Structure 1
């Protein structure tokens, strides 16, 4: 295995992981930011007020983007397994 191949494989792994994480973490972070702003404005400091909406947002994001995430991961793993004979 050459160094450039290893770097290319690592790059594909990190970009795939980043893309998948952003689909769940992005909306969750936006909801958390909106709730934090609402808490500052209203001075309501209830802990469940921040946790429950973020949990619901993460679950909805996984339900909505789940099939696409599974296709991306399956495609990545298929390419990885099919490229094994060409590595050596």
Structure 2
């Protein structure tokens, strides 16, 4: 295996990890920002008010996009396993 191939595999893995994390975290960040603006406007300082919507959005995102995310990870792993004989020899 050449260094270029190893770097390319690492780049693909890092990209897939970034996509998976972004898809799960970004909706939660957006809802957190909206709730924080609501709390600042109304001066309500309840911690559960900011935690519960983010938790629900994260769960809904995982339910809605979880199968696609799992498919992407399985396809990457399958491709990697299929490339092993060519990488070694």
CA separation in 2, counterparts of 1:22 and 1:61? 11
Partner of 2:81: 81
Shift of 1:58: 0.3
Indicate the residue corresponding to 2:9 in structure 1. 9
Q: For 1:35 and 1:10, how far apart are their aligned partners in 2?
A: 37
Structure 2 partner of 1:45? 45
Aligned length: 88
Q: TM-score, normalised by structure 1?
A: 0.97
Counterpart of 1:44 in 2: which secondary structure? coil
Q: Verify: 1:19 aligned to 2:1, yes or no.
A: no
Please list every run of 5 or more consecutive structure 1 residues that lacks an aligned counterpart in the other structure. none
The two structures, once aligned, show a CA RMSD in angstroms of 0.6
Instruction: Give unmatched runs, 5+ long, in structure 2.
Output: none
Moved beyond 2 Å, runs of 4+:
none
CA distance in 2, matches of 1:72, 1:61: 16
Aligned to 1:54: 54
